[in-house]
């Protein structure tokens, strides 16, 4: 009976005026003229939609972390979690999603598998839940376009433009800086607690490193996933700079005699990536990487990224998280 009631209400809502929208897969999807409630499918969509219009989110794809709860608007913290449609941990609760009566489900990111397979998957999902499902291809460089597309879709063009311009300025600064760098700083980036899970060149989890004009010391032959290395291998590479996502790895590197052999450690160029509420480099690889461009660029190439990183961080948090940072809080996050 509950499923029948949900289906009936959805059919009534979908019978209202609708407008065609062509998504990044070339699918033409009928969407309501006014979309008042949306559901993100995945972390990237979740963060884009939150920054654009937190009041329109009907539920999360994944539960907010404890750290995120401090920075997100309290009205959104306890929204229901519907799960995700893609990935190893796919766990979408279709009935709960339907019961929320969103105007659309929005997925963002890279094409998963083949384009044809994804079209089939999303068409099937939309048919099952009787809610329009659209896909917006999104990566770091086209972040401004993603915001402008979503702004047009949701009737929030002015708000979307603010977010797009902030991202655009960071991306353009990075593009100009790369053209002027002839001898790039070499960087090693690890996400593990022991500091020996390497992110290879070309892996989108480390995209910010290459984007700002540095060189990822780990060759692409190590694969797209994180790969375990030995400390001896790191001795051979001997990067100029080391970035850690985990505090345990950072503390071990700066205190352990075995790590002192590395030039980066000896020179004091080991850094713990700011990570409140999300890492500035990764985890997830979403809009948090925009402030990462400014942070890492200013850290490694201050002359090419002449920004007030404290002020820029305060601006980013207000714009993307709707959170007012004090200068002292910003310094704590940045560890300066």
Do 121 and 208 sit in the same domain of this protein?
Answer: no
pLDDT tens-place string over residues 127-162 = 999 999 999 999 999 999 999 999 999 999 999 999
Q: Is the Cβ–Cβ distance between 48 and 134 less than 8 Å?
A: no
Per-residue pLDDT band at 14 (split at 50, 70, 90): very low
| More confident position, 87 or 23 | 23
Do 129 and 208 sit in the same domain of this protein?
Answer: no
The helix or strand, by DSSP H or E, that contains position 72, with its residue range, turns out to be none
Q: Looking at the domain assignment, is residue 222 inside a domain? A: yes
Do 70 and 198 sit in the same domain of this protein?
Answer: no
Q: Looking at the domain assignment, is residue 87 inside a domain? A: yes
Burial 121-148 (b: 16+ CB within 10 A, else e): bbeebbeebebbbbbbbbebebbbebbb
Do 318 and 198 sit in the same domain of this protein?
Answer: yes
pLDDT of 68 higher than 90: no
Query: Range with the lowest mean pLDDT among 63-77, 167-181, 202-216, 227-241?
Result: 63-77
Q: Is the Cβ–Cβ distance between 35 and 104 less than 8 Å?
A: yes
Do 320 and 245 sit in the same domain of this protein?
Answer: yes
Q: Is the Cβ–Cβ distance between 311 and 286 less than 8 Å?
A: no
* Full-model pTM: 0.91
Residue 292 sits in a domain whose CATH number is 3.40.50.1980
Do 95 and 229 sit in the same domain of this protein?
Answer: no
Q: Looking at the domain assignment, is residue 159 inside a domain? A: no
For residues 232-242, average pLDDT: 97
Per-residue pLDDT band at 3 (split at 50, 70, 90): low
Do 254 and 123 sit in the same domain of this protein?
Answer: no
For residues 81-109, average pLDDT: 91
Q: How high does pLDDT run on average in the chain? A: 92
Q: Looking at the domain assignment, is residue 113 inside a domain? A: yes
pLDDT of residue 223: 59
Q: Looking at the domain assignment, is residue 72 inside a domain? A: yes
Which of 116, 138, 160 is the C-terminal boundary of a domain?
138
Do 226 and 321 sit in the same domain of this protein?
Answer: yes
pLDDT of 1 higher than 70: no
Do 293 and 235 sit in the same domain of this protein?
Answer: yes
Per-residue pLDDT band at 17 (split at 50, 70, 90): low
Domain carrying residue 120? 2-138
CA distances from 33 to 104, 122, 146, 183 (A): 11, 21, 19, 52
> Of the candidates 99, 131, 106, which has an alpha carbon nearest to the alpha carbon of residue 56?
106
Do 253 and 329 sit in the same domain of this protein?
Answer: yes
pLDDT tens-place string over residues 259-307 = 999 999 999 999 999 999 999 999 888 999 999 999 999 999 999 999 9
pLDDT of 39 higher than 80: yes
Do 325 and 277 sit in the same domain of this protein?
Answer: yes
β strands within 128-169, DSSP E:
133-137
Strands 227-228 and 241-244: unpaired
Angle between helices 157-180 and 309-321 (to 10 degrees): 150
DSSP-assigned letters across all residues of 235-291: HHH--SEEEESSHHHHHHHHH-GGGTTSHHHHTT-EEEPP-SSS-SS-SS-STHHHH
Query: Range with the lowest mean pLDDT among 68-77, 163-172, 271-280, 298-307?
Result: 68-77
φ and ψ at 182, to 5 degrees?
A: -105, -25
Do 193 and 132 sit in the same domain of this protein?
Answer: no
Q: Looking at the domain assignment, is residue 168 inside a domain? A: no
Q: Looking at the domain assignment, is residue 272 inside a domain? A: yes
Query: Range with the lowest mean pLDDT among 12-16, 63-67, 247-251?
Result: 12-16
Domains held by the chain: number: 2
Q: Looking at the domain assignment, is residue 70 inside a domain? A: yes
């Amino acid at each position: 009976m509950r499923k029948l009631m949900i289906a009936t209400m959805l059919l009534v809502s979908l019978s209202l005026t609708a407008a065609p929208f062509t998504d990044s897969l070339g699918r033409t999807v009928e969407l309501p003229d006014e979309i008042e409630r949306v559901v993100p499918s995945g972390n990237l969509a979740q963060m884009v939609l939150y920054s654009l219009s937190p009041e329109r989110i009907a539920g999360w794809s994944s539960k907010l972390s404890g750290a995120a709860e401090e920075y997100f608007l309290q009205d959104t913290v306890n929204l229901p979690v519907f799960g995700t449609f893609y990935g190893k941990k796919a766990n979408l609760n279709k009935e709960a999603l339907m019961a929320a009566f969103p105007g659309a489900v929005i997925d963002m990111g890279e094409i998963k598998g083949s384009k044809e397979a994804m079209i089939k998957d999303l068409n099937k999902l939309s048919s099952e839940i009787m809610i329009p499902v659209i896909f917006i291809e999104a990566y770091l460089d086209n972040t401004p376009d993603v915001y402008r597309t979503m702004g047009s879709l949701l009737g929030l063009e002015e708000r979307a433009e603010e977010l797009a311009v902030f991202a655009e300025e960071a991306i353009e600064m990075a593009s100009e800086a790369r053209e002027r760098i002839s001898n790039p700083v070499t960087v090693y980036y690890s996400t593990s607690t022991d500091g020996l899970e390497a992110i290879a060149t070309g892996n989108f989890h480390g995209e910010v490193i290459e984007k700002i004009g540095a060189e990822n010391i780990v060759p692409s032959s190590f694969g797209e996933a994180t790969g375990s290395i030995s400390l001896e291998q790191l001795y051979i590479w001997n990067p100029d700079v080391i970035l850690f996502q985990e505090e345990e790895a950072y503390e071990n590197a700066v205190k352990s005699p075995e790590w002192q052999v590395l030039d980066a450690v000896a020179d004091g160029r080991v850094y713990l990536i700011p990570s409140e509420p999300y890492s500035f480099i990764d985890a997830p690889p979403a809009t948090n990487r925009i402030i990462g461009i400014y942070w890492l660029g200013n850290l490694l190439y201050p002359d090419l990224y002449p920004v007030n990183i404290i002020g820029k961080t305060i601006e980013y948090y207000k714009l993307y998280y709707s959170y007012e940072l004090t200068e002292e809080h910003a310094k704590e996050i940045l560890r300066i």
